[in-house]
Structure 1
Amino acid sequence: MTEDDIRAALAPFNLTRRLDGVHVRDGLVQVSLTATREEAAGLEPLRREVEAALRALPGVKSAAVVLTAHAAPPAPPTAETVLPGVKHVVAVASGKGGVGKSTVAVNLAVALAQSGLKTGLLDADIYGPSLPKMLGLTRKPEVREGRMIPLEAWGVRVMSIGFLVPEDKALIWRGPMVMGALNQMLGQADWGELDVLVVDMPPGTGDAQLTLAQKAKPAGAVIVSTPQDIALLDARRGVQMFAQVGVPVLGVVENMSYFCCPNCGHRSDIFGHGGARAEAERLGVPFLGEIPLQLAIREAGDAGAPVVASQPQSQVAEAFRDLAAQVAQALAG
């Protein structure tokens, strides 16, 4: 299945004026169609019809058709990547804050390292860097021949702006300064040879996301959401953003999926349950699993010892290892 095959399948729908982008990778198909806000509701039946037709094609594992009011940004430059020794970059993202994205990114990276992959972790959240605390790192990185050397923790190479500024200092920076810091951590850090670099993305869909998509050229993105509707709306925007910049979505993971009382074992769906699975199916992207809400996750993060390493036999550690196995399989495919 190639991009030409998809474009041929779209020909009967006469979408030439609206076709904004087509991306095909390992049987995962994403198509962007331009539409104004006023047109979007009226085009929803067409969007569903096109999506269903693409899913029915031989060789297509999943298909997502999204409507966007903005033209896709220019393609990234063909110059040599700023990460020459990194085989794959995986963005861990969310449409909004507060869904546990950094917790997922940290435990995903450690689980990938435990599986034998050379793994790095980049904290791209300049305004709210949390990885130093979650990994128990307090020192500054060395600088050798003008390049920063990432710190190491739990088998993972790590870079964060939090290593360079005091923990209690607010970064009141405008956009150009934020972009400069990201570019430094990408291009002026000596990551060495890595099988995968996990990027903990800032929440939202702004300049930082576009910069990383163009500079780091991610092999895929993992979208983190909680089950409730308001979080899923923002997760949907995240999927659309990556479709616009040509980054395949590896799947959606439901964090804080449910809570089991440690005393009586009673299960409570505090934020609802199953919303992320349903949203992934609607968008035509894989569902990567459920991460429960557990006290152990918070305690491990505060202690600087990710739960997948400090409590490897726990149920939640197993959930993170399963997530890592699916991501590794998608990258290998």
Structure 2
Amino acid sequence: MRALVLDQPGTCDALRLADLPIPEPEAGQVRVRVEACALNPSDYQRAAYGISEWEWPAVLGLDVVGVVDAVGEGVRRVGVGQRVAHLGDIRVRGGFAEYTLADASVLATVPDGLEPAAAATVPAAGMTAYQAVVERLRVGRGDTVFVTGGAGGVGGFAVQFAARAGARVITTASARNTAHVKALGAEEVVDYRTEDVSARVRELTGGRGVDAVVDAISSGSATSNLAVLAPGGGLASIAGRPDLTTVPPFGLAPSVHEIALGSAYLLGDDRGRARLGTVLTGLLALLAEGELDPMLARAIALEEVPDALVELSGRGVRGKIVYVHR
């Protein structure tokens, strides 16, 4: 099979096309003929430092949509020919290839009529945002929510989930993306390039602060955004924990939630892996019903993925870029 491989840790411009053996599913696994796989920041981040469990050459790509091509021993819930989606395990070869393997328990059903490229935008970014906004922060009507990077994948889905819950949404974006994030559901947009973000968020909330923050930028950003929380507010950190020593005890009393979807794999959590499939199935249904915007920026060929990952690492991409098998 054709695959995009990484021979050693490094930058994504070192990725190359190669021929690899078609993998065979073991017990509890299925083989998926890849139709689409979205690009994520975790791809270029993992490429830089590598994973100790990787089989070299490594294959990146977590957000897989495709057709079940073969099933391993004991697999009953899905069959050959069924279109599925899943969030991959970072320790094994992923979806920037013509075929990949998946744990059958994590598979989600892709609704009829939903394009593979659109479906592939959801697993990592959509489920991360859902866990942050809905499951951890429990955003509801009347809340005010601050989302960093509303034009990105996680940020864009977080804006949508918070707006669907009836919250007032404030987000950061550059001036060229203001209309885009407002179309997703943001009421107020702070230009992070020209404005003091914390001061502007405080101004927009009359000095009170926000009930919830979804931070998908960094540990430093999450730490800074503790300062925009209202008393008893919550922060979900996607890209690094905040430093709680910056907050005096028994005052602001924030709740902090670390979002790590991959822990279901890394910690061997059977229930957690099954939940990945359940949640993803529900989100794909919303997408098929037109209740979510997939924010698909563009579909690309496999050989275009390295340049697109380099572009993504510059943090200037709006929405999601997806590899589509042609």
TM-score range, shorter chain: 0.3 to 0.5
Query: Structure 1 length normalisation: TM-score?
Result: 0.32
Query: Structure 2 length normalisation: TM-score?
Result: 0.32
The structure carrying a bigger helix percent of its residues is 1
